[in-house]
Chains A and B, each alone.
Chain A
Amino acid sequence: MTGAAVLCRGVGKSYPSAAGRVQAVSGADLEVRAGEVMFLVGPSGCGKTTLISIIAGVLRRDTGECRILGTDLDTLAPAAASAFRRRHIGFVFQAFNLIPTLTAQENVAVPMLLNGAARSAARRAALEALEAVELGAHAAKRPSQLSGGQQQRVALARAIVHGPALVVCDEPTSALDHHTGMEVMRLLRRLAHERDSTLLVVTHDHRIYEFADRIAEMDDGRILRVGAPRPNDGSTVP
């Protein structure tokens, strides 16, 4: 795919709070090119999660424009927006969010089933995806029988199993130790590359900046800079 996977202009979003409204995002501009790995970084409370929620279509913006794969999700009816998300977007969460009573394979099969795949096809695709994250041998285990890193790898498999064009990740490594986090990012980057998926990753973790093609720095609800990661020191170049 060529062109922009994500194109946001002047996106604003505020939340009601006790002391009036909190402006979580105010005029954010962000472009993520198709096939690239983009990191979204910034201090706590600067609006990263809010922005990525808008991009993923689970939160409506107040102002501005936002096109995902050429589509403005806010103009879609709820059913169409759901259909768009299950077809084109993969999700990775900080807290993994696997369903505890399902096996790894059943968890990974969920996006396939949501997209109407037959059970056998869904199970097959799930197993392939688990093999891609090197967990083929653990397919029948439940999340509680897996380590945190393994659980996040199951979540990666779930995010990519249906071949989404865009994978959004909120703090995918912050619940993991350094080594495991690096392992997860290595797999995530490889999978996205192999499957031509665009990757948008919100993170605090300087140590994984090397996995980004570009890094967008955010503060106070705005994107301040976008640049390539500088080798070895974890900060961005202007």
Chain B
Amino acid sequence: MLSVAWTMLAGDRAKCLGIVLSLAFTTLLITQQGAMLQSILSSTTSFVDSIGGIDMWVTDPRSAYIDDIKAMTDTQVNRVRGVPGVAWAVPLYKGSIRARLPDGSSQNSQFIGLDDATLIGGPGDMVAGTLADLRVADGILVDVDAAGGRLAYPLSGGGTRPLAPGDTLELNDHHARVMGIYRGRKNFQSQPVIYTTYERAKAFVPSERKLLSYVLVKLKPGADSAAVSRDIARLTGLKGRTTREFSEESLRWFIANTGVLMNFGLSTVIAFVIGGGIAGMTFHNFMLDNQRHFAVLRAMGAGSGTLIAMVALQAAGVTLIGYGIGIGAIALFAFAMAGSEITLTLTWSMIGASAAVVVLVGGVSGSFGLRRVLTLDPAVVFK
């Protein structure tokens, strides 16, 4: 009887297609919006998340989130080093700089200065050269996306080639030599990200009294991060946050102070309501059209179990196919968009969440249909 159930539905091409496509559309939109949101949210904190090997970020107490940089004086690094529980502490500079290409065009870039001695906080995934090459005079590292894109080397005959070790850039009228290319995570502004050493960064940027953005801290084994935070506040007047706290606080700030969640949330809800609504209505229509046939089956002796299995199969069938088409389309979309400015992070949790939503739609319309079928009066068949 399950094959009969499937033929009943699939035989009605228009309606079946309508249900499947609206479920596919729902899947597509929800997943796309969700993945986009997830990409944006994770890119806002990717700088904090990408630096491993440290336990704590120390900033000016007024700094509310990752990009809210309130510069400190260099002496603060030493003061943090003196706080009980701190194993070591290193400076990190983060700012922006104008990079000029040989053809005279310029490009705003993020500029990061790493502790000269340890290079802590540097990129881990080198495509060309090594992190240690930064110690060479005037050395910088450029991310591979920018090297092939915004900072690509202009050729004399027109066109460009990817920036490579040995090439030079003008950073704020200072001569800088590309020593390595690394692969980094996308940042929110999708600007080039250039690494150098802390002292060199200070030399490159217009001289200001305070340039220290963050102090990166490693705790002594067994030290309690909350206690160290309190001591940092008490002894230095600065604010210490674990990597996780800093990342979460930044994310919360971003969500609270931009419309991003609202916008994406709204369009996701709209996708759910419209797509799910159309799918549900079409399925409901299908059940209405077929209730006479279900009544006939019931009169002819189809048991409740059989009818439940039939409707469940119909609902599950369209849900699965619709979901499959939707996810297939989104995967194709993500594939086509890979490497462009629009990034779609398709995570399993996202795929699972949209599955849950679509199954909810299928389940709800299926159980409405089922209720209709189970409460049918078989006596209507003679009417």
Q: Which residues of A contact B (CB under 8 A)?
A: 49, 52-53, 56, 58-59, 78-79, 82-87, 89, 91, 93-94, 97, 99-102, 106, 110-111, 113-115, 119, 142, 170
Contact = CB atoms under 8 A, between A and B. Distances in A.
List 3 tightest A-B contacts by C-beta distance, closest first.
Answer: A86-B301, A101-B11, A85-B301
Contact of A102 (B11, B302, B304): B11
Nearest to B9: A101
A62 to B, nearest CB: 14
A102 B7 contact: yes
Interface residues of B, number: 26
B303 interface: yes
Contacts of A94: 382
A89 B4 contact: no
A111 B7 CA distance: 16
A58 B3 CA distance: 25
Interface string B285-299: 000000011001111
B303 A58 contact: no
Contacts of A53: 379, 382
A83 B303 contact: yes
B370 to A, nearest CB: 16
A91 B300 CA distance: 7
B301 A83 contact: yes
A93 B3 CA distance: 24
A49 B293 contact: no
Interface secondary structure of B, over-half rule: helix
Contacts of A78: 304
Interface of B: 1, 3-4, 7-12, 292-293, 296-304, 306, 378-379, 381-383
11 contacts: A52-B382, A53-B379, A58-B378, A59-B378, A79-B304, A85-B299, A86-B301, A91-B381, A93-B382, A113-B4, A170-B382
Contacts of B3: 119
A49 B380 CA distance: 10
A170 B8 CA distance: 25
Contacts of A113: 1, 4
Contacts of A83: 301, 303
Given A84-B301, A111-B300, A58 B11 contact: no
B8 to A, nearest CB: 5
Contact of B299 (A91, A100, A102, A106): A91
Contact of B301 (A89, A102, A106, A119): A89
